[in-house]
Amino acid sequence: MNILEVQNVVKRYANHTALDDVSLEVPKGSIFGLLGPNGAGKTSLIRIINQITAPDEGRILLDGELLRQKHIEDIGYLPEERGLYKKMKVGEQLLYLAQLKGMTKAEATEKLKVWFIKFDIKDWWYKNVEDLSKGMQQKTQFIATIVHEPKLIILDEPFSGFDPINANLLKDEILELKKKGSTIIFSTHRMESVEELCDNIALINKSKVVLRGEKKEVKNRFKDNSYTVDYIGDFQSNSNDFQIIETKNLEDGLKRSHIRLSPEYSVNNLISNLISQVELKAFSENIPSFNEIFINVVGGEANEIL
Amino acid sequence: MNKILLIIQREYITRVKKKSFWIATILAPILITAIYAIPALLFLNNTNTKTVEVIDESGLFTNKFKDEKGVSFKFSRQPLEKAKKEFLNSKFDALVYIPGNIVDDAKGVRIFAEKNVNLSLQGNIEGTIQSELRNIKLTRAGIDVKVIEDNKIDVSANTFSLSEDGGEKSSSAGGTMILGAVLGFILYITVFLYGSQVMNGVIEEKSNRIIELMISSVKPYQLMMGKIVGIGMVGMTQFLLWIVLTFSISTVTSGVIASRFENQLKKEIKIGATKEEIKKTETEIKSQNPMAIVDKVFATTSIPKLILCFLFFYLGGYLLYSSLFAAVGSAVENSTEAQQFMFPVTIPIIISFFLAQYSIQEPDSQTAFWASIIPFTSPINMMVRLPFGVPAWELLLSMVLLVLGFMGTTWLAGRIYRIGILMYGKKMTWKEVSKWVFYKG
């Protein structure tokens, strides 16, 4: 079951097309990574999902229903550019934002108290926002995003501006929200957090979705059947079975080679071949990181893989 | 709908909570009261009598200087040089010298004083000498003194306004003019003041970057209207408090002033005076009371109607302009950048202010009529004309057009606003902004 379905969405501005026939599905209860370089169209898509702007073509389904005004309350949004009313008290401000998301005042007060205790910030309630540090403001804003317990949470670059400790806190919180059944979309170009958190991804480049799917499946798609071996000695490839891409010298006579197998040649065959020639120290399959995939795809070399 | 209420509430409460709001609210009525009460009180407290020594070498003016409130005259026969020497040690406040050849050389009069001679005393002395000289010259020319006396006609016109049912009320053209000017000016100031508050509020949201969060919860139009209405209500609150405070402070102050006048009255009515004399003095003193003119103006103008019309034209003018101010705020990123874009919005306000100066002189002219009908200039100009009396159909037409006018500008502003608030890092031009109006979705 998908919480969100984006179907053939097109958004044009005066001189350029921000989204060109974009489709993607976000499964319920997952963490979805919306990736892409700056200016690719991520923010345009997020704004459409938030109903800040409307698409020129295509449609969007939230929980199976066509996106409508009432769905605003089902979505929590943390924009990349953080901002709060500086002269307002933290508590007042969060109450206001929660009420705008359709909560009653009593409900919001109760929920906010829980979060204030959880984040250990009880004494902030009557503080002015402008007196908070940047990190404290980030926490405040995160609470504003999730206090109304939305079905879908959209976080735009959530880790920017957080120190490592608070980033970890946020990560744990995201995982916990997922456990509770929320779906989280996060838009980022920090690939290590994608690696760690996401179940599914979509990569947008130049207004188009150029890559999408389950994290593991995408990675498998980008495997090039290559392996890394550490060994002592020397060996050669004397057939078409495999090919040595590069060899490096490590310390103590150890060498590391990058090998790509031909599709018919099995890993076991390779290992027995190697053992007969050198003293094998380590052997591993090369699984591409998202960083590599990102650079690969956005760099334009792998467009044909799709 | 509920969300608009929340926005209005926030905009209203955060502003009404500010200290500056309360300072302005309390200070203004005190200032208004002070403007008329201080001169009145000064006038009353000025009780120390000045004595003036008069040396009249011509002998023509004996007993012609009449003692009046605050001044008494004393004639002396000593030569000028001696009097000048003794003057500083004498109890006189001023010394008037009239030379013997005064009839032929009117410029010979001299007034000496330790400090500067005050203008009204100087005017008084000059006036007396002048009219006496005129009499003398006329007599010499062979005109009977009695004819001269008969020709001293005191003209003081009373103005009346005729109402349609044929009744007449006494009015005061000067007072009506002042009332119109004050109302127009207050409107001018407040439309500017609250309009730019709306603009700064929009800029604040945009530069704070909270705008994106806000419009993921509410529609841009709701946010804009919530802000405009909220701030407008702050203005209304301020006006109502001003009206209540000004009336109560004025009532107390004019009560005090009135009782002082009463005392003055008793002092001036000498024992043994005839009833007629008493009455004459009474009306004389009452006409000096500065409150009288205010009473006179309010007697011809219906205050509730005036207040209601003022609130209506304030709201209409405010809505019309503040939505344009909101549009300007949305198109820029900071207040400095806003200056250049404010220009086209402020021009009509300034023009209507200048037109108002004309409307107040000629409230029934063609120019004044059109200025008070066209929505952009009508709020200020109608308020200026209103105390003079405006036909009902004109008032109604002006109101209807104003409502249509602000519906038009809020629509236009809304179109610009929804695009503008999300535009960053782009230098705006009018050409660009005008394109936004036609963007869809």
What is the distance in angstroms between the Cα of A220 and the nearest Cα belonging to chain B? 37
Note whether B240 and B319 are within 8 A (CB).
Answer: no
Considering the domain architecture, whether residues A91 and A127 belong to the same structural domain is answered as yes
What is the distance in angstroms between the Cα of A239 and the nearest Cα belonging to chain B? 59
Residue A9: exposed, middle, or buried by beta-carbon count in 10 A (0-12, 13-18, 19+)?
buried
The per-residue pLDDT for range A88-132, each reduced to its tens digit, is 899 999 999 999 999 999 999 999 999 999 888 888 899 998 898
Is A85 in Cβ contact with B6 (below 8 Å)? no
What are the Cα distances from residue A125, in Å, to A96, A114, A173, B325, B364?
A: 13, 12, 21, 34, 60
Distance CA A112, CA A168 (A): 21
Considering the domain architecture, whether residues A17 and A102 belong to the same structural domain is answered as yes
Per-residue pLDDT at B203 exceeds 60: yes
B210, B218, B441: residue with CB nearest A53:
B441
* Domains, chain B, with CATH or none: 2-39+172-436 (no CATH), 50-150 (3.40.190.10)
Per-residue pLDDT at B100 exceeds 70: yes
Of residues B307, B282, B302, B277, the one with CA closest to residue B292? B282
Lowest mean pLDDT: which of A3-12, B185-194, B291-300? B291-300
Residue A304: the pLDDT is: 43
- Residue A259 makes CB contacts below 8 A (sequence gap 6+) with A226, A227, A228, A229, A237, A242, A243, A244, A245, A270
The stretch B326-350 carries a mean pLDDT of: 87
The pLDDT confidence band at residue B113, using thresholds 50, 70 and 90, is confident
What is the distance in angstroms between the Cα of B247 and the nearest Cα belonging to chain A? 34
The per-residue pLDDT for range B285-307, each reduced to its tens digit, is 555 555 565 666 666 667 788 88
Considering the domain architecture, whether residues A189 and A66 belong to the same structural domain is answered as yes
Considering the domain architecture, whether residues A132 and A267 belong to the same structural domain is answered as no
Is A87 in Cβ contact with B14 (below 8 Å)? yes
Is B218 in Cβ contact with A81 (below 8 Å)? no
Considering the domain architecture, whether residues A154 and A21 belong to the same structural domain is answered as yes
Locate B227 and state its tokens: 């802000």
The pLDDT confidence band at residue B228, using thresholds 50, 70 and 90, is very high
User: What is the number of alpha carbons within 13 Å of residue B94 lying toward its C-beta?
Assistant: 22
The per-residue pLDDT for range A267-297, each reduced to its tens digit, is 888 888 888 888 888 999 888 888 888 888 8
Residue A302 lies in a domain: no
Is B216 in Cβ contact with A79 (below 8 Å)? yes
Chain A, chain B: beta-carbon pairs less than 8 Å apart: 56
In this structure, how many other beta carbons lie within 10 angstroms of the beta carbon of residue B31?
10
* Lateral strand order in the sheet of A2-12: A17-27, A2-12, A57-62, A65-66
- Pick from A163, A196, A220: which residue ends a domain? A220
Considering the domain architecture, whether residues A214 and A166 belong to the same structural domain is answered as yes
Residue A277 lies in a domain: yes
State which H helix or E strand residue B25 sits in: helix B19-45
Residue A46 lies in a domain: yes
- Pick from A220, A241, A262: which residue ends a domain? A220
Note whether B51 and B113 are within 8 A (CB).
Answer: no
Per-residue pLDDT at B104 exceeds 60: yes
Residue A298 lies in a domain: no
State which H helix or E strand residue A294 sits in: helix A290-298
Considering the domain architecture, whether residues A176 and A252 belong to the same structural domain is answered as no
Per-residue pLDDT at B118 exceeds 80: no
Is A83 in Cβ contact with B210 (below 8 Å)? yes
Note whether B359 and B385 are within 8 A (CB).
Answer: yes
The stretch B85-112 carries a mean pLDDT of: 79
- Pick from A220, A253, A271: which residue ends a domain? A220
Per-residue pLDDT at B45 exceeds 50: yes
The pLDDT confidence band at residue B278, using thresholds 50, 70 and 90, is low
Per-residue pLDDT at B1 exceeds 90: no
Distance CA B170, CA B296 (A): 7
Residue A304 lies in a domain: no
User: What is the number of alpha carbons within 13 Å of residue B78 lying toward its C-beta?
Assistant: 10
Is A54 in Cβ contact with B441 (below 8 Å)? yes
Considering the domain architecture, whether residues A146 and A213 belong to the same structural domain is answered as yes
The pLDDT confidence band at residue A301, using thresholds 50, 70 and 90, is very low
The pLDDT confidence band at residue A182, using thresholds 50, 70 and 90, is very high
Distance CA A85, CA A129 (A): 7
Is B212 in Cβ contact with A52 (below 8 Å)? yes
- Identify the CATH number of the domain in which residue A177 sits: 3.40.50.300
The pLDDT confidence band at residue A306, using thresholds 50, 70 and 90, is very low
B204, B205, B209: residue with CB nearest A82:
B209
| Cα-based angle B105, B108, B114 (whole degrees, multiple of 5) | 165
A53, A55, A81: residue with CB nearest B209:
A81
Considering the domain architecture, whether residues A52 and A175 belong to the same structural domain is answered as yes
Per-residue pLDDT at B56 exceeds 90: no
Considering the domain architecture, whether residues A170 and A240 belong to the same structural domain is answered as no
Is B10 in Cβ contact with A96 (below 8 Å)? yes
Residue B227: the pLDDT is: 94
Per-residue pLDDT at B60 exceeds 50: yes
The pLDDT confidence band at residue A157, using thresholds 50, 70 and 90, is confident
Domain with A228, as residue range(s), is: 224-286
Q: Name which residue leads in pLDDT, B77 or B205.
A: B205
Considering the domain architecture, whether residues A58 and A161 belong to the same structural domain is answered as yes
Considering the domain architecture, whether residues A55 and A204 belong to the same structural domain is answered as yes
Q: Name which residue leads in pLDDT, B112 or A9.
A: A9
Per-residue pLDDT at B67 exceeds 90: no
Contacts of B422 in chain A (CB under 8 A): 47, 52-53
Residue A287: the pLDDT is: 87
Is A14 in Cβ contact with B441 (below 8 Å)? no
Contacts of B214 in chain A (CB under 8 A): 100
DSSP class of B425: S
Contacts of A81 in chain B (CB under 8 A): 209, 212
B209, B216, B441: residue with CB nearest A77:
B216
Residue A300 lies in a domain: no
Distance CA B266, CA B252 (A): 22
Residue B288: the pLDDT is: 55
Distance CA B19, CA B295 (A): 34
Per-residue pLDDT at B311 exceeds 70: yes
Residue type, A281: K
A contact test, residue of B14, B210, B223 with most A CBs within 10 A = B210
Lowest mean pLDDT: which of A6-20, B77-91, B209-223? B77-91
Total tally of structural domains belonging to chain A? 2
Residue B69: the pLDDT is: 62
Helix extents (H) in A123-181: 134-146, 164-179
What is the distance in angstroms between the Cα of A158 and the nearest Cα belonging to chain B? 14
The stretch B130-152 carries a mean pLDDT of: 77
Residue A306 lies in a domain: no
Per-residue pLDDT at B90 exceeds 50: yes
The stretch B163-182 carries a mean pLDDT of: 64
What is the distance in angstroms between the Cα of B320 and the nearest Cα belonging to chain A? 26
Note whether B132 and B60 are within 8 A (CB).
Answer: yes
Distance CA B273, CA B183 (A): 45
The pLDDT confidence band at residue A305, using thresholds 50, 70 and 90, is very low
